[in-house]
Amino acid sequence: MEVSVERLVYVREDDYTVAWVSAEGHPGFAAAGRALAGAQPGETLRLAGGWGEHPRHGTRYVVTGCERVVPATVRAVRLYLGSGLIRGIGPRLAHAIVDHFGEAALKVIDTEPDRLREVVNIGPARQAQIVAAWRDQQGIADLMVRLQGFGLSPLLATKIYQVFGADSAEVLARDPYRLIGQVRGVAFGTADRIALRSGVPERSPQRIKAAVLDRLAAAAARDGHCHLPLPALAGQAAELTGLEAGDVRPVVDALAAERRLVVETSPDRPDQAVAYAAEVHEREVRLAVHLARLLGAPSTLPLRAYQEDPALHEDQRMAVNMALTSTVSVITGGPGCGKSHTVRAVATTVRAAGGRVTLAAPTGKAARRLAELTGLPAMTVHRMLAHRPDQDAGTLFQESPVHADLIVVDEASMLDLQLAARLVAAVPSGSHLLLVGDGDQLPSVGPGEVLADLLRVPPVPRVRLTHVFRQAEGSAIVRAAHHVRAGRVPELPGGGGFWFEELDDPERVAERVVHLATVAIPRKQRIDPAQVQVLCPMRRGVTGAVELGRRLQERLNPAAEGRPEHWSGADVFRVGDRVMPIRNNYDKGVFNGETGTVTAVTPQDRVVEVRTGDGEVVEYGFGELDDLAHAYAVSVHRAQGSEYPFVVAPIVAEAGGVMLRRRLLYTLVTRARSWVVLVGSREALETAVHRVGHRRNTGLARRLAAALPG
């Protein structure tokens, strides 16, 4: 049966797709199946399958096979050109092109593109744009066929083409391992399937090298490790390739000779070697060198005397004195212990003495929160490092903010190795660097454990604030957080800001979380549902961020007739969606973890427009949407540095509850300002409280200790 795709209804991460299609004699019906994966509105498909009944959704065409074909009728050609698949052509221009060329419109674009100028409003620039977009679509379609031949999802085709463009087919044929790390969703297994089916030998050094580097990258991404013990790395790579560890060791040596990885003595076991990816090793060494430089430099702080503030608690006064006398120092402490008030005291003292102060945090939300709590300007670390001097009188800093006399970085537990190395290398000798954070929170998303490593080096000055102030003592959230930090289960069910609702079945937990976030809490508190944030310990599963985010989107921002939307893989973007970047993009000026709202979806230009929390408007091309995630439900890790009025979270032992750890639960609870509601099993909650979790493999503490005198 030959059909035209009118719109997508549902796409699941396992490729299961439901589309509303039309065919001659069938004006509109649902087609469903994994074979539909990658289908886009406007395409013409030749389907194999048969009619079936769905228990909830009724009659639908069950697809078992799918082939893309060139639209052959005037209606199908008009639908294809007006769908947004070809950038530069909207519905109105599609009508004009088809009115002029009829059924031959696509053939003209393909073989006689100069004739497009016969159509009103198509000049040389628009013609070139249309032809380039047509070539891209043909390339993606060809790539889909290739991937299906390897037994892989055609949804990968757009992602691969976005990275490699017209060279995509050659990359698949010559070196599919290049896909690893460059194309989101492609790990060793996917690239290896292509390689082996293309004739790459099982014992090929190219294959084993890819496996070794993949295991190092996976350890960094999954567990935050900077290095792996050599025996563990060889064993994991051997398991991945189905070979023996003895086959891997010579390849590790070859990678070391190529300077793609570094092998050195373990920081913890002198009898064992460890392996680093070369770029991770370079960052760790650079960070240690520059920390030692700052610690050893004489202070240039313009401060002659400091009048102690009697309103500060004793440990706060110690912290202020430390920050004013030490070129590198650390302040830690839990909620309600006065970290922000201490920072304000340090900053105002330096400013009063004529010194320049920069306050920064790893994310935009954390920076805005720091500014609110201290009453002083703050920015993201990324913006601070990217700043260029500007003589405009309206500029906050006439010189780069990293050249301040005092630099304070809040939420320092979020600093990964890469960002910390860039930051510390940029700070001038003699300036004071004050890192402020809660060492009991989750470490950074990226590899490394910078704050914890600094606290393992005795010569690094530090003060831990432990006094909980009376105002904070009255907060049920603060009490619950300190219980969790101490390894004790909070008082249940709780009240006054902390509440635990006991349910055992994950499906019922998911339903309850969605109801609380969209109906119960907004109704009781008389607030907009946007003030309620769902946080999830896991990404996968029925109570994971992906599935709960989908349910929340359908409840809060469902599809509407006539409103444009765009499906990117298993994600659909609509006007009004809550979204967040998941990668830093310095060109766009957006950073991982910031939130925004979709304000426009424009198929003709193939862009999604997002208004950030700072009020700036940023455009994402349809091919860039892998860098953008929905923020209806987010992982606890991605919520670091943020604070929300109301938080709802599932706490279940789904998939073994491997993510349920004390630091994760502590971080989750401390994200809420007014209320946090946990829904799940008491057993899962107790597991999270008592499970400490692993320490990351890092060498920073040893390197820094060795670089300091004495």
Q: Residues annotated as binding site for ATP?
A: 336-340
Give yes or no for a contact between 22 and 28, defined as CB atoms under 8 angstroms apart.
yes
Q: Phi first, then psi: what are they for 697, rounded to 5°?
A: -80, 105
d(CA 409, CA 360): 5
With H, G, I as helix, E, B as strand and everything else as coil, classify residue 463. strand
| Annotated binding-site positions | 336-340
Lookup: tokens for 458: 């005795």
Nearest-5° Cα angle at 401, 398 to 405: 105
Cα 428 to Cα 436: distance, rounded to the nearest angstrom: 19
- For 13, list phi and psi in degrees, rounded to 5: -65, -20
* Long-range contacts from 382-389, C-beta under 8 angstroms, 24+ separation: 382/419, 382/584, 382/586, 382/591, 383/589, 384/358, 384/360, 385/422, 385/423, 385/426, 386/586
Rounded Cα–Cα distance for residues 657 and 301 (Å): 49
Mark 506-545 as b/e (b = at least 16 C-beta within 10 Å): beebbebbbebbbeebbeeeeeebeebbbbbbbbebbbbb
* Residue for token pair 């831990």: 464
What is the secondary structure of 55-105 as a DSSP string? TTTEEEEEEEEEEEE---SHHHHHHHHHTTSSTT--HHHHHHHHHHHGGGH
User: Do residues 411 and 437 lie in contact, with contact meaning Cβ atoms separated by under 8 Å?
Assistant: yes
Q: Where are the beta strands (DSSP E) in 318-417?
A: 328-333, 357-361, 379-380, 406-409
The residue type of 259 is: R
Query: Dihedral sign, CA of 414, 420, 426, 431?
Result: positive
- Tokens matching residue 667: 């971080």
- Would you put residue 698 in left (φ > 0), alpha (ψ -120 to 50) or beta? beta
Residue 455 to residue 465: CA distance in whole angstroms: 14
Distance CA 387, CA 400 (A): 6
Strands 227-229 and 273-277: antiparallel
